[in-house]
Amino acid sequence: MTTTAITRVDPKAEVARAPATPSAGEYAFSPLLFTLSQPHGDQAEAIRAVRTYVMAQHVDRGRRALAVCAPSKGVGCTFVAANLAVAMAQIGVKTVLIDGDLHNSGMGAFIRPPAPRGGLSSCLSSPNAPFGEHIDFEVAPNLSVMFAGDHVNNPRELLATDRFQMLMDFCLRDFDMTIVDTPPANSSSDCRRISTVLGYSLIVAGSARTYINDVKTLAEQLRTDHAKVLGTVLNWA
């Protein structure tokens, strides 16, 4: 890869414990959101290093969307997406975090809403509903979240619709930064579709779980689909 940002992040790549059950009207945040739970720790500092790279190579150049992808499951893709979104919001970047994994959503293990939300699946299945109805605004200062929503049997078809493109256009207009968590590439082509629509992607690899050739293959696939690969985050699993 010609542009690679290698950053050692969290010794536990996947979610080890879920957030507490939220009180009425409150959101619950996992301790693994280190940018919130341990802002002065090494893990949060590693995320901030990724943020600095993304700001310098992406946001400062006027680019405002990023798909976070992984070659396989279990390497911390959702962990990176959630922590990076929080880190962006903490410096005043108006950010929306979208759970784009309609197969096996994991965002609820990091941020749990006080009540079930319709989210992305409902938004894409409801062509006449305003996009904002499916977004949780100001979950934290400068941070909004669109959860995956209810399970659907046709996630690929929903992401292939013009409605998804329109949703991304809406997010680009209304937010400074749009970050989309995607399902693993070896189980679904959805990450390629999402990356194509956004135009940019960040690859997450696990230090003891991901083969270099798998990262190279995914990067080549994304470039073939006309998405620019911003770099790679090495998650120390």
pTM above 0.75, yes or no: yes
The span from the CA of 148 to the CA of 139, in Å, is 15
Report residue 95's pLDDT band, with 50, 70 and 90 as the boundaries. Answer: very high
- In sequence order, the β-bridge partners of residue 99 are 181
Share of the chain above pLDDT 90, in %: 74
Q: How far is CA 111 from the centre of its chain?
A: 12
The tens digit of pLDDT for each residue in 9-67 reads 554 444 445 565 555 468 999 999 999 999 999 999 999 999 999 988 787 677 899 99
The answer to whether the beta carbons of residues 80 and 50 sit under 8 Å apart is yes
> What are the structure tokens assigned to 23, written together?
């009180």
Q: Do the strands 228-235 and 200-206 form a parallel or antiparallel pair, or are they unpaired?
A: parallel
The answer to whether the beta carbons of residues 214 and 100 sit under 8 Å apart is no
The dihedral region occupied by 40, where left means phi > 0, alpha psi between -120 and 50, and beta the remainder, is: alpha
The tens digit of pLDDT for each residue in 176-231 reads 999 999 999 998 899 999 999 999 999 999 888 898 999 999 999 999 999 999 99
